[in-house]
Amino acid sequence: MRRTRFLNAFLFIISVFFFSYIFYIQCLQHPYYREKAKNQHEKKIILLGSRGNIYDRNGLPLATSQQCFSIFCTPRYTPNKGRLAQNIARLAGKSVRDVRRLIEKGVFFWVEKKVDLEKRDNYLALEDPSIGFTHDLRRQYNMPEMFKSLIGTCGSDNRGIEGLELQLDKALSGKSGFTIYQKDPMGDMFPYPDYPEKDPEPGQDVYLTIDLQLQAILYTNLSRCMIEQDAAYAAGLIIDPRSGEVLALVNVARNGGQRNHAVCDEFEPGSTFKLITLTYGLLNGFKEDDVINTDYGKVTIRGHVIHDYKNYGVVTFQQAIAHSSNVAMAKLSKEFDYHDFFSLMWDFGLGQLTSIELPGEVKGRLPDLEKMNNLEFAILAFGQGLTVNLLQLAFTYQAVANRGVLNKPIIVREIREGKRVIQRTHPLRIRRVVDDETAQRVTNVLCSVVEEGTGTEAALGDIRVAGKTGTAQKVVDGAYSNSSIITTFIGYFPAESPDYLIAIMLDEPKKGLWASSVVAPVFRTVAQRLYQMNSHHYAIK
């Protein structure tokens, strides 16, 4: 009797434990095991939305998303593995041995991704039940050699990794959808119509301020100059000085790189910085005809000799700028107030990001005002001891060309969702840097650079051009090099009411050493083409 009771009690405890565990598994742990079963029998595949297109200001496509296909193979369904391996190897351009190795594993694998319709049909023509396909998207770039540093690229996942593709990825990417594939006990996948799916939503389209025709003109001339001068790279900009819109932005490199040098590289501006020195002087009582003695082209400060290209003798302030006299700038700097001068540099936007819609922008470097001595300030007056990027430097000239008002650089004109405009960029005024009268005086002095000074190779006949050359020595091993230089020219025209501002930079030219002979002619050629395009407005004699 006692043995029977013990056995019944034992069986009761076992039953309670067993049914409690069943309850725990089936009820309390139901969500966990349901998810585990789904992971074993289903595969959720993310479907990326069609990436938005990128257009120039006139609606010409620069980057588009093209429908393509990805081919997969489920080897267990093939009736002839040997023939399948040979056919795949032939179409995919792979070795038969490598393909056979994948097939012998017997598990699902991707044969090729992002193939066109014709190649997809070639695979389907094999009539092998193990071959299938999914829809995919491929990014197509028109004239990539002209736009690669600006627009950038996408990765294999259709996400932006460089340039505007990266910066505007959120707008361009759209919203992802999904589809669910059934997995059999061997782990192979196949479509199953009863499973839920969600269609992806396309991304938004972006319209740039870039003009394709202007981009082509600038690219052609920069490429030719880089090759002729055997330079490391060339960069250039065409800007509407009234609105701040970037009409062309080009970078070309000898090594074929995609770096956006105009925005991402900083350099000492050299004599193009004399715009700041000129403006400061005019704002503080100096006159264009004030006389400066350049002391036979040399001046010594703290034991350091500053010299000019040649002895200009006694010159006016305007002539000192026209002939780019470093000695004159150094002597003038003795009468400048350091803090006021730095304040003007800041007003022109130096030492700050322009906040253009491009990744990797550098803000440049200004010297430490509190630690500056008179020698460092003297060389600052002619553009050494600080760094800028080309876009930033170009917009110091934009402020003068725009009658003293600095604008924010604009490169994205509109963002559209279908036909609906969801964002339109308008010109953005940052600040008034100088008054209208001073801006006009600066322009007149810059015109003398082109008419009688270092910039004569940039002249456009009867059309007045305001501009400035810059030949800056690069720092090599802690000292300024006499052979490694950066040449720049920045100018705008017609000087009285500018329509275009062009900035040209060439890094380490091997054939020429002066901006006057290296980049000023490029400016003139580009400017002439712009005028030919607008012959109903202008006439070049």
For residue 484, the SS3 value is strand
> What is the chain's length?
541
Q: Which domains does the chain have, with CATH numbers?
A: 45-177+192-208 (3.90.1310.10), 212-533 (3.40.710.10)
Rounded to two decimals, the pTM is 0.83
Q: What is the pLDDT of residue 198?
A: 63
- For residue 117 the two structure tokens come to 């319709």
**Exposed, middle or buried: residue 451 (CB in 10 Å: 0-12, 13-18, 19+)?**
middle
Reading the block at residue 344, the tokens are: 């003007």
CA distances from 444 to 147, 320, 362, 496, 498 (A): 35, 14, 31, 9, 13
Indicate the Cα dihedral angle 71, 76, 78, 84, nearest 10°. Answer: 60
With a CB cutoff of 8 Å and minimum separation 6, the contacts of 310 are: 297
In sequence order, the 6+-apart residues with CB closer than 8 A to the CB of 503 are 236, 237, 239, 262, 390, 391, 393, 394, 397, 488, 489, 490
DSSP readout, 50-96?
Answer: PPPPEE-TTS-EEEEEEEEEEEEE-GGG-S-HHHHHHHHHHHHT--H
Interstrand relation of 429-432 and 466-476 (parallel, antiparallel or unpaired): unpaired
Nearest Cα to Cα of residue 505 among 379, 394, 360, 349: 394
Structural contact between residues 107 and 122, judged by C-beta atoms closer than 8 angstroms: no
Q: Is the peptide bond before 494 cis (omega within 30 degrees of 0)?
A: yes
Query: Kindly report the CA angle at 234 between 233 and 238, in degrees rounded to 5?
Result: 155
Residues 223 and 229: their CA atoms lie apart, in Å, by 10
pLDDT for the residue numbered 181: 63
CA distance to 44, 150, 276, 502, per residue, from 236 (Å): 47, 12, 21, 7
Cα separation of the two ends of the chain: 127
Contact 236, 503 (CB under 8 A): yes
H or E element, residue 278: helix 274-283
pLDDT string in tens for the chain (541-residue length):
667 777 777 777 777 777 676 776 677 666 665 655 555 555 566 666 688 999 999 999 999 988 888 899 989 888 898 999 999 999 999 999 999 999 888 888 989 988 888 999 999 999 898 898 887 788 889 999 999 999 999 887 778 899 999 999 999 987 776 666 665 555 555 555 555 666 677 889 999 999 999 999 999 999 999 999 999 999 999 999 999 999 999 999 988 888 999 999 999 999 999 999 999 999 999 999 999 999 888 999 998 999 888 898 999 999 999 999 999 999 999 999 999 999 999 999 999 999 999 999 999 999 999 999 999 999 999 999 999 999 999 999 999 999 999 999 999 999 999 889 999 999 999 999 999 999 999 999 999 999 999 999 999 988 999 999 999 888 776 677 777 889 999 999 999 999 999 999 999 998 888 888 999 999 999 999 998 887 656 554 4
Tell me what pLDDT residue 184 has. Answer: 59
CA dist 395 and 197 (Å) reads 51
Name the strand (E) or helix (H) holding 235: strand 233-239
Which residues lie across from 479 on neighbouring strands?
476
Exposure b/e, 255-280, CB count within 10 A at least 16 = b: eeebbbbbbbbbbbbbbbbbbbbbbb
